[in-house]
Amino acid sequence: MKRIPFIAALAALSLIVFASSVRAQGKPISADTCSSSLLGIDGNQIWVNKEGAGNVTVVFESGFGNDSGVWSQIAPRIRAVGTQTFVYDRAGMGKSTIDTAVPYSLDHDVHILRKALTDCGIKGPVVMVGHSYGGAISLLAASEDQRIKGLVLLDAVVPGVWPKSEVDKNLKMMRAQYAEVRAQAPGLAKVAIPWAEAMPETAKKVDSIRVSATIPIVDIVAEKGQNDPESTQIWRGAHMAFTANNPHREYLFAAGSSHKVMIDKPDLVVEAIEKMVEKSKGL
C-alpha cells in the first residue's frame, strides 16, 4: 500500500502504520483450538491464533496499525522453548473486521483482548508483550486482569509519553490528512481517524493507569524510535520515570534500534521474553 502523508504522521508518533485487506473465512472456534480462526466479539470478527503448549502463555499486542504479522519471527522462537503463544489482529487490522458503530477507545481494545483470551480458554499465567500503542493496551489489561503476571514492553506508550503538547502537535498533522487517507486507504481510515480523534482521551487514560508495583516489567526503549529531539526527550524521560525506583521494573536501551524493536533487535526481545516467562512461572 502506498505510504501517504497521514500514515507518515502516525509514524511520527512512533506508531508505524500499515493495513492488510486480507480477510479470513469464518470457521467454528473453540477454546481447544483458537487456531487461525475468527472470533465474534461485540460485532467485530477478531482473528486469533493460539499455538504451542506450556504452562505460560505469551500474548503479543501489536502497535497501532500493525497486525499480528510483525511477530512472525519472534513467536516461533518462543514456542520452541516450550511456551504457548497467542497472537491476534485487532479490530479493523489484518484479518479482523471492525464494527464502526462502537466508539473507538483504549478501554474497548482491552475489553476485546480480555474477551478473546477468555473465549480461547487462556487462564494464565500470561506474559504480555506490547509494542508501541500495544504497550498501553498491555498495561491497562495488566491493571485489570489477574491472569497477567509479567510484561515486556517494546518502545511502548507508557504514562507521560503523550503530554498535551505532543497530542496537539500530532492531531494537527493528522487532521490535515483525513480527506486524503479516506480517499487512498478507506479501510485504514475506519480505524485510524477514530483512533486519532480519541487520542486526547487515550492520553489521559494512559496517564491514569496504575499497574501493581510487584508485577515484573522489562521496558525496552529504542534509540531511534522518535523523529525529533523534543519528542525523544519526552519519550525517554517518561520511560525512565516509569521504571525508576522499582526493583521489579527494568529499563533496557536498544542501541541502534528503530521503533520496530522486534525487527531490529529480535535476540534482545526473545531473551527478555524468555526471562519473563521463567519469572511468571513462580507467580
Give me the residue spans of the domains in the chain.
22-161+212-280
Give the pLDDT score at 32: 62
Q: What letter would DSSP give residue 216? A: -
Task: State the cell numbers at 132.
Answer: 508501541
Answer whether residue 4 shows pLDDT above 80. no
Instruction: Tell me the pLDDT of the chain averaged across its residues.
Output: 89
Average pLDDT for 157-179: 95
Q: What is the pLDDT of residues 140-155, one digit of tens each?
A: 999 999 999 999 999 9
Answer whether residue 239 shows pLDDT above 60. yes
Give the pLDDT score at 37: 94
Give the pLDDT score at 22: 32
Q: What is the pLDDT of residues 100-148, one digit of tens each?
A: 999 999 999 999 999 999 999 999 899 999 999 999 999 999 999 999 9
Going by pLDDT thresholds of 50, 70 and 90, the confidence category of residue 65 is confident
Task: State the cell numbers at 13.
Answer: 508518533
Strands 44-51 and 84-88, bridge-based pairing = antiparallel
CA distances, 119 to each of 27, 83, 177, 223 (Å)? 15, 19, 38, 38
Average pLDDT for 261-277: 97
Q: Where are the alpha helices (DSSP H) in the chain?
A: 5-12, 75-79, 106-119, 133-144, 164-175, 178-184, 186-197, 199-208, 229-243, 261-264, 266-280
222 with 252: CB under 8 angstroms? no
* Enclosing H/E stretch for 13: none
Q: What CATH class has 22-161+212-280?
A: alpha beta
